[in-house]
Chain A
Amino acid sequence: MLEFVDLQRSFGDVVALDGLSFAVAPGELCGFLGPNGAGKTTAMRCAVGVSAPDGGTVTWQGRPIDLATRRRTGYMPEERGLYPKMRVHEQLVYLARLHGMAAADAAASASAWIDRLGLAERAGSTVEELSLGNQQRVQLAAALVHEPELLILDEPFSGLDPLATDVMSEVLRERARAGVAVVFSSHQLDLVEGLCETVAVIANGRLVLGGRVAELTSRGGRRLRIEVAGGTAWTHELPGEAELLAADDAGATVLLPPGEDAGPVLDVARRTGRLLDVHLEQPRLSELFRTAVGNGATPGDEDPT
């Protein structure tokens, strides 16, 4: 289990992490979300030893992450980094060996990932000769080449075209299925919703929402969308604990607390006019995100904290 425990980090007067805690289990694919400056990059840099927390710890399998663990960790930094003048295969072998792999194993693994990520024809090219998309693939290969048991990826989908996004998604799923704990940050909430089993949403350096995506989206009652000929005046007479969430020209969305019968609400609506459409809605992750971090927050580029 990868655990962030009460992590704290400040840069001067700026508090980047303010007691952040969450966990990712082996085999779990966790989306790490948060608005600009929420502290995602800082938390990840603390996990891989690039930055030191002022307080708290990051543990793997119950022990603070040390050099030996970091060598079994795959890391993709937010600011992509490779030697521009080094050849792709040679560079991957070098990085794998720095992570402790034997030379022969490193060469075999580098070749395998180069093939897997569609870079076979560019294995002998220097990194600076590649397109940005291919450089991104090499960066992913650099995180994977030493067969890590823990993957920490900062914005791995940033700048990828749809095909490359598919490849990246499949690789991450595959690694999680192989038992690797995967945590990655992203601002592409729909992609995270489709890919991840769990999410951790942070704001101002703290966890504000976390858990399994399915549970989060079904938590807090059902959302009933009702469209009635004759307008939405009926929403003023909602019975019981039913709560109006949104209304527009076509209809309204009503939140029903767990266990509440939908019948009385439908009866009220039906008195206004003919029922045109009734269906249950689940909240999107993006809505939960906005609610959790505050309506003013929007996903965008992360700042260096």
Chain B
Amino acid sequence: MTAVRTVALIAGREVRQRLRSKLFVWTTAVISLLLTVGALVPWLIGSFGADLMSDPTDAVVTIAVVGELDEARVSALESQFGAIELEPVADDAAARAKLDEQDGVDLAIIDGASVLVAPTTGAFPGVGSGRANAAAEALALVDLLEDNGAADIAPGILGITPLPVETVGERDPTERVAGLVVANVGVVFLFGLLMFYASMIVNGIIEEKGSRVVELLVEAVPVRQLMTGKVLGMGIIAIGQATALFAPALLVLLLTYRDLLPPGSGVLVAAAALWFVLGYAFYALLCAGLGALVSRPEEAQAVLTPATMLALVGYFLGFIAIQQPDALWSVIAGWLPPTAPFVMLVRQAVGEPTAVELVGSVVLLLVGIVGAALLTARIYEGGILRVGARVRFGEAWRGSRL
């Protein structure tokens, strides 16, 4: 039997057992749904608000008219609001009564010289007064142009299409905002997810030690393959669950706000995924080795302290790097495997790492992962079969046959 098949068997068991847990599946589904709904909230609020505001381009604005409105003024109002409906009323009092009774009238124009509007109420105040101001500006513009003999160009002025605007030089401000969001949220999620899945691995190892099934496994499977299968299986679960949790929400964001998302958002998300995968491999391997030193779940937190401390250092450096993404210490922290996932994610989001720094950081982290695997394999073998009291690091190191 090949090593690949053995590792696949062990990883497959990890995945199947986890997916069989109704709690795991339902928790994932519910959180994913909440995140997706959360991503839709701004859009829902936007739609609701748009209804209230009756976007001038697609809603008919009804205007009570006292006296005559000439063609130039009607055109100016149409340019401002799109479709309008004019409702002639007898006098100022009748117009005020219609507005007061909210009788399907949005505005009133008295003799083309003044605009009336009802006081606004509700969650989105200012809608009516905004229209009134727009109508007043349109009428005043026609007045001005008439005085200068150019009333016929009023609609063209009001319906003007702005020239395209291009930002040059410094980074697009919206892109920087997106970078800050990814950096802040990314560092928090990265730390939380890494620690969560690493502790799941440790719990799995403790289960095997505690139930003594590990003796049966070690009889048939080399220790390195056992450890690799476990880390790989939990990695598939981690990546699968993280995808299930975040992908629908990200997809919704992408589809709903496609025009609003700043350039580079997709690259940042992909970078966050890359640093998560690499960071997971590094920390999961370290935690697997440490987990093999204990036999009881209550000892897990204590034994994981070295790995947790390393991740915490990365977490805090990541946050500090948001302010100084391209400082020398940020560059150095970006090269070091334990801190690279956090710091490089931040540097990519808000800084300007060079291609050499990016590739070099990935390569060094891969080297770190191999080193963690070798260290862990030795500790794992020295500790995995020693049930009972916590095994000291040195004992496990010496007790290994690797």
Contacts and interface: CB of A to CB of B under 8 A. Distances in A.
A98 B9 contact: yes
Interface in A55-83: 67, 70-71, 73, 75, 77, 79-83
B336 interface: no
A49 B13 contact: no
Interface string B386-402: 01000000000000010
B323 interface: no
Contact of A77 (B9, B13, B215, B401): B215
B212 A94 contact: no
Given A50-B215, A83-B211, A98 B220 contact: yes
Contacts of B13: 86, 94
Most buried by A among B1, B10, B17: B1
A75 B221 CA distance: 13
Contact of B1 (A71, A82, A85): A71
A142 interface: yes
Contacts of A71: 1, 220
B219 A50 contact: yes
B218 A49 contact: yes
Given A49-B219, A50-B218, A73-B219, A81 B212 contact: yes
Interface residues of B, number: 23
Contacts of A86: 13, 17
A84 B207 CA distance: 9
Contacts of A75: 215-216, 219
A52 to B, nearest CB: 5
A100 interface: yes
B213 A67 contact: no
Given A70-B220, A73-B219, A98-B220, A81 B214 contact: yes
Given A67-B222, A70-B220, A94-B13, A81 B215 contact: yes
Contacts of B241: none
B216 A85 contact: no
Most buried by A among B215, B217, B387: B215
Nearest to A74: B219
Most buried by B among A73, A83, A142: A83
Contact of B6 (A77, A95, A98): A98
A171 B114 CA distance: 105
B221 A98 contact: yes
Given A50-B385, A86-B17, A98 B217 contact: yes
Contact of B216 (A52, A100, A142): A142
Contacts of A7: none
Contacts of A52: 401
Interface of B: 1, 6, 9-10, 13, 17, 207-208, 211-222, 385, 387, 401
A-B pairs with lowest CB-CB distance, top 6: A81-B212, A81-B213, A77-B215, A79-B212, A100-B1, A48-B219
Given A50-B385, A83-B207, 7 more contacts: A45-B215, A48-B219, A77-B215, A81-B215, A83-B17, A83-B208, A83-B211
30 contacts: A48-B219, A50-B219, A51-B385, A52-B401, A70-B219, A70-B220, A75-B216, A77-B216, A79-B212, A79-B215, A79-B387, A80-B212, A81-B212, A81-B214, A81-B215, A81-B216, A82-B213, A83-B17, A83-B207, A84-B207, A85-B17, A86-B17, A94-B9, A94-B13, A95-B216, A95-B220, A98-B220, A98-B221, A100-B220, A142-B216
